[in-house]
Amino acid sequence: MHQTTRKILDFFYPNVCPRCGIILHPEETVCDACAEKMLLSQNDYCQKCGKTNCMCQYRKLAYDRAVVACRYDKESAPAVLALKESKNTNFAYFTARILAERLRHGSYYQVQETDYVMPVPMHKAKQKQRGYNQAGLIARELAELLHLPYREDVLYKEKSAAEQHTLTSAQERAKNVGSFGIREVSLENMRIILCDDVLTTGSTMNRCAELLKFKGAAFVTAAAASSTSPPEQKETTKHKEESLL
């Protein structure tokens, strides 16, 4: 977000930590204590699928690498929820900074050679109702930080499908993501960074990456503000479900 806009907003709405509610300095997004609780170390997730429990051996993914900022668990849920409910969008700016930093030091190619930063789309009606697409906030901020072009007119969501998080099985989630579409564009040999707020099974990112590849994209990075780690005891069944996708 533009600094001036930010300052004006801070005047009317005090800048508070989206997780604990403590008052922050205008330039801060999350307090240090909460940042520490939410951050996911780069060694703790798979650089290809973005999961803390790597699913690469069970699925062939359409995206080429994943960059993740935070874990999605009970520690970070209040901040993610505040972003979704338009209460506090700081989590988007906080995670965009982390993602930018991790992408600058990425090993696949120089991040400046990225063609576009795009969000996972939200259905138009829903975006109008909420006022913004939270994935778009993250993607736009990331594009600004990395000085890369931002585009949200390529991918679209056809209809309001059931909310991903309300669906319990990986199979249901996979079916539900079928409603994404892509406009008539050429993405021949392009490198794209695709952003979302939460990476759960990876089905949404995967479907969008498939569409981008279908239009010629050469490399797709899945950049997620947060990534879920399923409870340990469910690992086995979870993997079985994933392998069916």
Nearest approach in angstroms of CB 12 to Zn ion is: 21
Among 20, 54, 56, 244, binds Zn ion (CB under 5 A): 20
Of positions 17, 67, 111, 220, contacts Zn ion by CB under 5 A? 17
3-state DSSP assignment of residue 111: helix
Least Å distance between CB 34 and Zn ion?
3
Segment near Zn ion (CB under 5 A); pick from 10-18, 45-53, 72-80, 187-195: 10-18
Q: Which stretch binds Zn ion (CB under 5 A): 18-26, 86-94, 103-111, 198-206?
A: 18-26
Tokens found for residue 5 = 């806009």
CA distance 18 to 202: 25
Total residues contacting Zn ion (rule CB under 5 A)? 5
Selected binder of Zn ion within 15, 24, 29, 31 (CB under 5 A)? 31
* Percentages of the chain per state (helix, strand, coil), in multiples of 5: 40, 15, 40
Considering the complex, state which of residue 34 and residue 49 has its C-beta at the smaller distance from Zn ion: 34
State the Cα–Cα distance between residues 141 and 176, nearest whole angstrom.
28
- The torsion angle over the Cα atoms of residues 39, 126, 118 and 158, rounded to 10 degrees, is 130
| Residues in 89-128 that interact with Zn ion by CB under 5 A | none
Give the Cα separation of 150 and 133 in Å (integer): 14
Q: Is 19 among the residues that bind Zn ion (CB under 5 A)? A: yes
Give the DSSP letter of residue 58: T
Q: Identify which range of 5-13, 28-36, 119-127, 144-152 contacts Zn ion by CB under 5 A.
A: 28-36
Quick one: 72 or 150, whose CB is closer to Zn ion? 72
Per residue, the 3-state secondary structure of 186-228, as one string, reads: CCCCCEEEEEEEEECCCHHHHHHHHHHHHCCCCEEEEEEEEEE
The nearer residue to Zn ion, 18 or 136, going by C-beta atoms, is: 18
- Which residues lie across from 71 on neighbouring strands? 227
Q: Which of residues 181-210 bind Zn ion (CB under 5 A)?
A: none
Sites of contact with Zn ion (CB under 5 A): 17, 19-20, 31, 34
